Amino acid sequence: MPTQIEAARQGILTEQMSRIAVEENLSPDHVRQMVAEGKIVIPWNHNRRPARVAGIGKGLRTKVNASIGTSSDIIDYGAEVKKALAAQEAGADTLMELSVGGDLDRVRREVISAVDLPVGNVPLYQAFCEAARRYGDPNKLDEEMLFDLIEQQCADGIAFMAVHCGINLCTIERLRKQGYRYGGLVSKGGVSMVAWMLANNRENPLYEKFDRVVSILRKYDTVLSLGNGLRAGAIHDSSDRAQIQELIFNCELAEIGRDMGCQMLVEGPGHVPLDEVEGNIQLQKRMSGGAPYYMLGPISTDVAPGFDHITAAIGAAQSSRFGADLICYITPAEHLALPNVEDVIQGVKAARIAAYIGDMNKYPEKGRQRDKEMSKARRDLDWERQFELALYPEDARAIRASRTPEDDATCTMCGDFCASRGAGKLFAGDLRGDKACQRHSI
């Protein structure tokens, strides 16, 4: 069975491409062409076809990923399923199951079965966990065990997989030559692979035998997301030589993987000051031939623990604006604790809003009509229409209902001094529909 990219190159319009065209209001042939060029990917799996289709890439709405998973301190399979369902309900487009504690096969399979979303993961997590349990030392991981595990996870229905292929002896040497980092290394998979290479004095098998990785994922039509193991964990490490070196390798590997018939994503950094966001995305797009870019956050300042869903939303809006295609949410618990259900909900909502703001600027010709309609509904004190247009109407309704105004036409923010009501009376005779403000429209 051909992968999505192989089918597109053969001129075949798959059901998934057609569904994306309808959802995104694009021509089916345009979507097919972008898939054929590797500029749109569709997380999929021949073994477990997700009920919801998520197109990621050029010309499409910026998508949001939510990550869940156990830790070595908190192992509650039911809680992870609840978080997965909460993320789906809050509007996540994809889900990553990133457990490192307990029965990892069980939690992955339960989460995949519970949700309609495409589910991704990081195979190195389970590989090093299993090696530690089996041999008492994660650095005794056998590469055959690693490749077998990748195949098993694909067979379970993983739709996209973050594989740390771009970390190699060259990138480690680059890290050493620059004098390490302010924020150190923050990728669990990245650190584990670096430790394995140094302990065994060997090259990363995921890089050395990249064609084998691609062959496994291509078999299932699982999207290969090239993991960002040396991503910056502090804004002062952003765009350093080690990070850019890994990005260069990942962009080269994206081209190789596409040529082999596998759908390819490239992952981006985690902590980025706002003035570097645009340049980072331009660099990735240029070097990868336009491969979809998966931004982790990005967190835009290091000093707001407890509010990193906000710092990341600021970075995500900028990333979406400048061309990022998939945003990984950040929760209020980032850097502090394992997220709970409420953290997941808040993280997804903040990222969804950020992606929407970015898309308004990335696609101004089609991305601002909803805001214009909301403006008119607020002007006219049309509360039902406001709720209808809101990204999260139930939240808006709940806040209004918790502080009921004396006059139903207003809200308790202004009450008798409602500016919209007063101005409406003053200019009621001057309203001429959309033409009234046409000269000022964007």
Q: Which residues of the chain have pLDDT under 70?
A: 431-442
Domain that holds residue 125: 4-365
Do 19 and 57 have their domain in common?
yes
Give yes or no: residues 302 and 426 share one domain.
no
| Residue whose pair of structure tokens reads 């290394």 in the numeric block | 185
Q: Are residues 151 and 49 in the same domain?
A: yes
> Is the domain of 283 the same as that of 432?
no
Choose among 377, 386, 334: nearest CA to 66.
334
How buried is residue 419: exposed, middle or buried, by Cβ count under 10 Å (0-12/13-18/19+)? exposed
Report which of 413, 427, 360 is spatially closest to residue 391, judged by C-alpha positions.
360
User: Given this model, what pLDDT does residue 202 score?
Assistant: 97
428 and 340 part of one domain: no
* Cα–chain center distance at 4: 20
Contact 98, 67 (CB under 8 A): yes
pLDDT at residue number 431: 61
236-261 pLDDT per residue, tens = 999 999 999 999 999 999 999 999 99
Q: What is the pLDDT of residue 435?
A: 54
Query: What is the per-residue pLDDT for 422?
Result: 83
Residue-wise over 375-387: b if at least 16 C-beta within 10 A, else e? Answer: ebbeeebbbeebb
- pTM for this entry: 0.95
Report which residue type is found at 273: P
Do 139 and 211 lie in one domain? The reply is yes
Q: What's the domain count of the chain?
A: 2
Distance CA 34, CA 26 (A): 11
User: What 3-state DSSP class applies to 36?
Assistant: helix
| Residues 403 and 313 both lie in one domain | no
pLDDT digits (tens, 9 = 90+) for 130-169: 999 999 999 999 999 999 999 999 999 999 999 999 999 9
Shared-domain flag, residues 261 and 392: no
Per the CB < 8 A criterion, the answer to whether 351 and 330 are in contact is yes
Q: Where do runs of H (alpha helix) occur along 51-99?
A: 77-90
The DSSP call for residue 342 is: H
Report the pLDDT value the prediction gives residue 432, as an integer from 0 to 100: 53
The per-residue pLDDT for 43 is 98
What's the pLDDT at 442?
53
Closest CA to 227 of 187, 168, 273: 187
